[in-house]
């Protein structure tokens, strides 16, 4: 029984330059306690997808009517698309679903202490008293490795370093015991030694709290170390999905291959860096057919230019949206 099912998520933005497709036909599921890495570069639509789960996208977002997002909670399934009033949306915003962001400075209000923000959140989403909320918050701050949690509780966001702020944000997100945590590039802005600490922390917390995590990042190394399964996105479409070992050791989509080849790797310093050829198309110039065909080195013919590839099974739980894979599996 999965925690969240996303089916046919399609999202466009109304802008001055026209209707821009941000996400097209994205489907995936997440089981409780599972960590999914959502990998993509700029323009891939990964952040937009995550925000859609909490209905956090801007007002000019237009959802396709076929989109279905179902959150399976203990109290029953919740159809996220049908939530209209802010009261209803509380459940997905901070209640059962929590989010942590790339810039921790941006998610803490500068004029309130960290403690008061954490308590405020708890008061909205739980039945705790103010005293109870305070105790729980200090406990969470301690749990995420912030020394001297009781005095940090009364500090402001700018008084903490980058790594500490990120930990505090994790503490705040987890204090409501969400079933699903969405982490949007939480380590990108951190120094690499701090990043390692935060990654270890998140792995411990998953083991302890058992929540599902959608971990959005552009860093395949981080995904390899934290995720159970990975989904790769390009220009708004999901191009490959599967268990992390499968996808990284045996990437089937040319884009995934390209991403891995482009990474400088420490164990083989002589290997030349192979960029993915070409440039990412502007969102105003989305290619027809397979969205990746303009940069793909393995085009098999006109079919890539005209037809959108469907999913092909390329391994245990591993599927790829590529005409070449269809051909291989058919053969």
Partner 1 sequence: MTAPSQTAKEAYFTASQRQLIWARFKKQRAAMVAATVLVVLILSGLFAPFLSPYDPTVAGRDKDYLNGAPQIPKFCDKNGCSLRPFLHTVTRERSLATNFRWVEKVNEDERRYVQFFVQGDSYKLFGFIPGNIHLFGMDQGYVHLFGTDSAGKDIFSRTLHAVWTSLQVGTLGVLISFVLALAIGGIAGYYGGMIDSVIQMVTDAVRTIPSIPLFMAIAAFIPPEWSAETRFFVITLILGLVGWPTLARRVRTHLLTERNQEYVLAAQLCGASPSHVIRRHLLPSFTSYIIVDLVISFPYVVLSETALSFIGLGLKDPVNSLGVMLQNVTKADVLLNYQWYFIPVLFFIALVMAFVFVGDGLRDAADPYSESRK
Partner 2 sequence: MTEELLIETRDLTVGFPVGGRLFNKKTLKAVDGISIGIPRGSFFGVVGESGSGKTTLGRALLNAVPITGGHASYDDGEVRYDLATLSGAELKDYRKRAQLIFQDPYAALSPRMTVRDIIAEPLEVMGLTNSREETDTRVREIAAKCRLNLEHLRRFPHAFSGGQRQRISIARALVSGPRFVVADESVAALDVSIQADILNLLKNLQSELGLTYMFISHDLSVVAHSCDHVAVMYLGRIVESAPTRKLFAAPRHPYTKALFSAIPSLDPDDRGRAQKLEGEIPSPTNQPLGCKFHTRCPYATDLCKTHEPVLQVEGDHAVACHRWQELL
Which residues of this protein are in contact with partner 2, per CB under 8 A?
41-43, 161-164, 191-197, 199-200, 218-222, 224-225, 244-245, 248, 258-260, 262-266, 269, 272-276, 279-280, 282
> Which of partner 1, partner 2, none binds 191 (CB below 5-8 Å, type-dependent)?
partner 2
Tokens of 242: 């599967």
Considering only 9-17, 189-197, 267-275, 309-317, which stretch makes contact with partner 1 by CB under 8 A? 9-17
**Nearer to partner 1 (CB atom), residue 78 or residue 220:** 220
Which span (13-21, 90-98, 132-140, 304-312) binds partner 1, by CB under 8 A?
Answer: 13-21
CA 18/CA 89 separation, integer angstroms: 29
Nearer to partner 2, 15 or 327 (CB): 15
Size of the chain, expressed as the number of residues it contains: 331
Q: Give helix 192-209 / helix 162-174 axis angle, nearest 10°.
A: 10
Q: Which of 283, 289, 303, 308 binds partner 1 (CB under 8 A)?
A: 283
Distance (Å, rounded) from C-alpha 288 to C-alpha 164? 45
Exposed/middle/buried for residue 17 (C-beta within 10 Å: 0-12, 13-18, 19+): exposed
Q: At what angle do helices 130-143 and 114-125 cross, to 10 degrees?
A: 120
What minimum distance in Å lies between the beta carbon of 17 and partner 1? 6
The 3-state secondary structure of 171-196 reads: HHHHCCCCCEEEEECCCCCCCHHHHH
The residue to which tokens 């005293």 are assigned: 131
The entry of partner 2, partner 1, none near residue 5 (CB within 5 to 8 angstroms by kind) is none
Residue closer to partner 1 by CB (options 52, 97) is 52
In the list partner 1, partner 2, none, the entry touching 224 (Cβ below 5 to 8 angstroms by class) is partner 2
Site for partner 1 contains 42 (CB under 8 A): yes
285 binds, among partner 2, partner 1, none (CB under 5 to 8 A by kind): partner 1
């Amino acid at each position: 029984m999965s925690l969240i099912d996303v089916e046919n998520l399609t999202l466009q933005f109304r802008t001055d330059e026209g209707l821009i497709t941000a996400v097209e036909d994205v489907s995936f599921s997440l089981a409780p306690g599972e960590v999914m890495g959502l990998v993509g570069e700029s323009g891939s639509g990964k952040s937009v997808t995550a925000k859609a789960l909490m209905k956090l996208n801007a007002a000019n977002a237009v959802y396709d009517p076929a989109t279905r997002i179902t959150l399976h909670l203990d109290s029953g399934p919740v159809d996220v698309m049908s939530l209209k009033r802010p009261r209803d949306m509380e459940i997905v915003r901070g209640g059962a679903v929590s989010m942590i962001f790339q810039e921790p400075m941006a998610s803490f209000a500068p004029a309130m202490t960290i403690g008061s923000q954490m308590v405020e959140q708890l008061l909205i989403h739980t039945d705790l008293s103010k005293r109870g909320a305070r105790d729980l918050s200090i406990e969470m701050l301690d749990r995420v490795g912030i020394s001297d949690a009781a005095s940090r509780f009364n500090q402001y966001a700018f008084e903490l370093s980058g790594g500490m702020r990120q930990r505090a944000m994790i503490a705040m997100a987890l204090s409501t015991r969400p079933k699903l945590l969405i982490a949007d590039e939480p380590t990108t802005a951190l120094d690499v030694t701090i990043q390692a600490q935060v990654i270890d922390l998140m792995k411990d917390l998953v083991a302890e709290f058992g929540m599902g995590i959608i971990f959005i990042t552009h860093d395949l190394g981080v995904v390899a170390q934290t995720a159970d399964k990975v989904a790769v996105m390009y220009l708004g479409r999901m191009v490959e999905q599967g268990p992390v070992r499968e996808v990284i050791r045996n990437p089937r989509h040319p884009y995934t291959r390209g991403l891995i080849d482009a990474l400088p790797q420490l164990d083989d310093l002589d290997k030349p860096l192979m960029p993915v050829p070409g440039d990412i198309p502007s969102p105003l110039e989305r290619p027809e057919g397979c969205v990746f065909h303009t940069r793909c080195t393995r085009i098999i013919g006109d079919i890539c230019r005209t037809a959108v590839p469907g999913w092909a099974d390329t391994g245990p739980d591993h599927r790829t949206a590529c005409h070449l894979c269809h051909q291989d599996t058919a053969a």
